[in-house]
Structure 1
Amino acid sequence: MMDMSADMVKKWRESENATGDEPETHFVVGDEEFLPIKESSQDLIISCLGLHWTNDLPGAMIQCRLALQPDGLFLAAILGGEALKELRISCTVAQMEREGGISPRMSPLAQVRDAGNLLTRAGFTLPGVDVDQYTVKYNNALELVEHLRAMGETNALFQRNPVLKRDTALATAAIYQSMFG
């Protein structure tokens, strides 16, 4: 188990059920962009909703492939490019209207059609990509944003304007409501 948060790794370690039936588990504090894992040392790597946070997705995939033994399995779940489409559109329109330009308010997400190409580019020989689509409805954009914040899903981009003006935020909520409410 690996996480950037030492506290999360500590919680996982403490909750480990030591009945002896489970596969051997190691607990590591690390970053998916700089895997602290020896080359060709893993049978399986699972990434669950972490890769969309990386600044270099192909590089992170390459590191995962290098850490795998021959015929090892890499299994990843990521948020795709269509996720939060309505909020992205609303925020873009509001910024264009209020500020005359845009600064990315959400991290970019890989498009589904590109996922297989990224895996091939990373050196995986038999990539498979599957899509599950879920629709979650919110009463308004502010409720959605609050849910995203509670999940820790805020913007990780370094090159962005860190300040969202109040009138732009309110315009985003109004546009979201009128177009997608």
Structure 2
Amino acid sequence: MASLHQGVADLLPSRQDFYAAWLNPANLRAGRIGLAPLAAVLSFLRQEGLPYTLVTARAGEYAAEWTVGGLSDLKRRLIHAAPPPLRMVLVGWIARSLVRNTYRPSRMELRWKSGRGEAVIQGSIFCEVRDPVELPLCEYYASAIRRLMQLFNLQAEVVIEHCRGVEAGECRLAVLVQPSPVQA
């Protein structure tokens, strides 16, 4: 969850030392952040109010950028060259991988119909709460999907329709891709 650490550093610099105790940079680099420290950080962030949404949104954007940066040049070029309907599907596959890599038990299914996608996320660590909350907690995923689409020249609006943290059985996001402008 290096992206979460970076989001805290960007948006809550005065709280960085507090969160660094949980998101130890050495363990982040080694990929050894356990569930307990991650859950603690998310719980503390939720107590901060609006910064939770801002930090998790920024973390989702970073995760998307780093995921695309980790793709081979060939794969990036092939996806960019694909027609928009196929590109949406290919970017959806990358988004599924991002969700799984964020927290192994998480899974995402993304289905497309007429330029509208429905992403269903099971096992979101961000939405794991003891008591229901008022506002959705899925902004990490919404921002990650939105940024992935942008990185592959697709303009998309991503709306959180249901969140497990708000007493929904699953997290469900609507992905609305804008039609590509006609090129002369």
After TM superposition, the score normalised by the length of structure 1 is 0.28
- Determine which structure has the larger helix proportion and give its number: 2
Structure (1 or 2) with the larger CA radius of gyration: 1
After TM superposition, the score normalised by the length of structure 2 is 0.28
